[in-house]
Amino acid sequence: MKPIFISGIGTGIGKTVIAAIIAEALKADYWKPVQAGYEPGTDRALVASPISNSETVIHPGTDRALVTSLESNSETVLHPGTDRALIASLVSNSKTVIHPETYLLKLAASPHIAAQKENKRIELKKIADDLSEMDRSRPLVIEGAGGLMVPLNEQEFVIDIVKMLDARLVLVSRNYLGSINHSLMTAAVCRNYGLDVAGWVFNDQYMNYEQEIVRWSGYPALFSLPLMTPLSKQTILAAAESIPPEGMGYLYESL
């Protein structure tokens, strides 16, 4: 079963929200192997866990988040400010397992810089080893860090994770000045690397050029949605249930 990898045309374009929607729609597991930047000092309330019957406890100040399996009745510890914690607060089905990060880095910066600050080096083999320990019979949504050409170390980039894991790619595009250029450059990189691209998710209002990006890139639209506020389990579930059949078909082809 191929994992689905969520990437996009840049940073801050809604990958985590789209990952939550797709995980909810497919009742898939979630994993963000590289998290660069989180908020260890924020005050977060307990949230109901979407991955077990236990409570999800968000502990500030620890160096590593712990995740329990569906069979465990112990507590799940989540770092505030991580995308994993956000997913835990948004996904409501009882089947999704949220896996811990392979690399949890404090500095909100390019992962290779954040790792250097902690005297670490991001290794693709370690990411692959973590994947090998997961239940591969389950659908899995993987979220990347930033865009595809974000560096992980002095030689490798996020796109190398996609290739190594043989993942099917979902590209997230958000409407802003310059987003056509960034979208088409991302598509060009995907073609150059020979990636398996499921299609686009368009986040925010795209006026008349959503279909132009589809036509110019050659990749289909899976679904589009307006900028979502507020974010909640209810709005994520509603968005998951509103994915058109054609878009769901492209996603199921990945599994």
SS3 state of residue 32: coil
User: Do the Cβ atoms of 147 and 9 come closer than 8 Å?
Assistant: yes
User: Do the Cβ atoms of 214 and 208 come closer than 8 Å?
Assistant: no
The helices-and-strands tally (H runs, E runs) of the chain is 9, 11
What the block records as the tokens of 95 is: 């089947």
Residues 6+ away with beta carbon under 8 Å from 220: 199, 200, 214, 246, 250
CA dihedral (106, 61, 23, 95) positive or negative: positive
The active-site residue, picked from 15, 27, 32, 233, is: 32
User: Do the Cβ atoms of 140 and 27 come closer than 8 Å?
Assistant: no
32 in catalytic set:
yes
| Distance, CA of 33 to CA of 130 (rounded, Å) | 9
Which residues are annotated as catalytic? 32
